[in-house]
Amino acid sequence: MIHLERLPKPDILVKKEKEWTEKFLASDKSRPDNSKYAHPEIKALLFAMSSGKCFYCEQKISQDYHEVDHFIEISDIEGRELAFDWDNLFLACDNCNGKLNNKVLPADSVLNPCEHTNEEIEAVLDFENEHIVMRNNRDIGYRTIQKYKLDSPQLDLYRARRLNQFYQVLVAIQKKQNSEHRDWLNPLEREELRRFTQKDHAFSFMFQCLFQKTQIL
């Protein structure tokens, strides 16, 4: 998870949010119309906000992905009011969209990538290889992992694959260093490694944690 800057509200919500919300509240439906809160214009902005990644776990997802998530769930009383609220709409992968409900872990008890800074996230979450763990015994880190199932075997596998890609690059660089009889990274090599921490790359926070511990750069 990394901090995300919320982009301006899409035009479709500027025009339709009040109307859609009033109709939903007046209905007996348990959930709002997915074609509205997951409107293409909304999804496009959410996709741009997260650089094509799940808001929670940073897994890369396809641009035509349909799972727009409500941070505060619609099943909550206040959630119904926020069914089309721009600040309540997130993009989530299958894993994270199957989160624990707010009766088990309330939304205000976990990290919100659009509200918490990178420094606040880094203070409570860490990685041991591909495994995400809480840092400094902070409950909010533990609750965030539990709510979004960030420690699922599926995500561990995806992160392990990404780590393997990184180590392949690192080994290739080290072989080149040895052949050239040097023990330092040139600018191109630094950039090749640093790209794993860029926000548009999958699991960038995991690599930020790795670099801090190993001082590779």
pLDDT of res. 74: 87
pLDDT of res. 69: 93
- Contacts of residue 31, defined as CB under 8 A and 6 or more positions apart, other chains included, come to 74
C-alpha–C-alpha distance, residues 138 and 110, integer Å: 11
pLDDT reading at 214 higher than 90: no
For residue 159, what are the CA distances in angstroms to 15, 83, 113? 40, 32, 19
Average pLDDT over residues 37-61: 95
pLDDT of res. 75: 78
C-alpha–C-alpha distance, residues 6 and 139, integer Å: 26
Tens digit of each residue's pLDDT (9 = 90 or more) over 102-156: 888 999 999 999 999 999 999 999 999 999 999 998 899 999 999 999 999 999 9
C-alpha–C-alpha distance, residues 17 and 36, integer Å: 9
107 secondary structure, DSSP code? G
pLDDT of res. 28: 85
- Contacts of residue 133, defined as CB under 8 A and 6 or more positions apart, other chains included, come to 125, 126, 127, 141, 145
Q: Name the phi and psi angles at 127, rounded to 5.
A: -130, 140
- Apex CA 155: angle with CA 152 and CA 161, to 5°? 140
Residues in the chain: 217
Q: How confident is the model at residue 170 (pLDDT cuts 50, 70, 90)?
A: very high
pLDDT of res. 78: 73
Closest to 49 measured CA to CA, from 93, 90, 97, 15? 90
Question: Checking DSSP bridges between strand 131-134 and strand 125-128, what pairing results, if any?
Answer: antiparallel
C-alpha–C-alpha distance, residues 177 and 130, integer Å: 27
C-alpha–C-alpha distance, residues 135 and 138, integer Å: 6
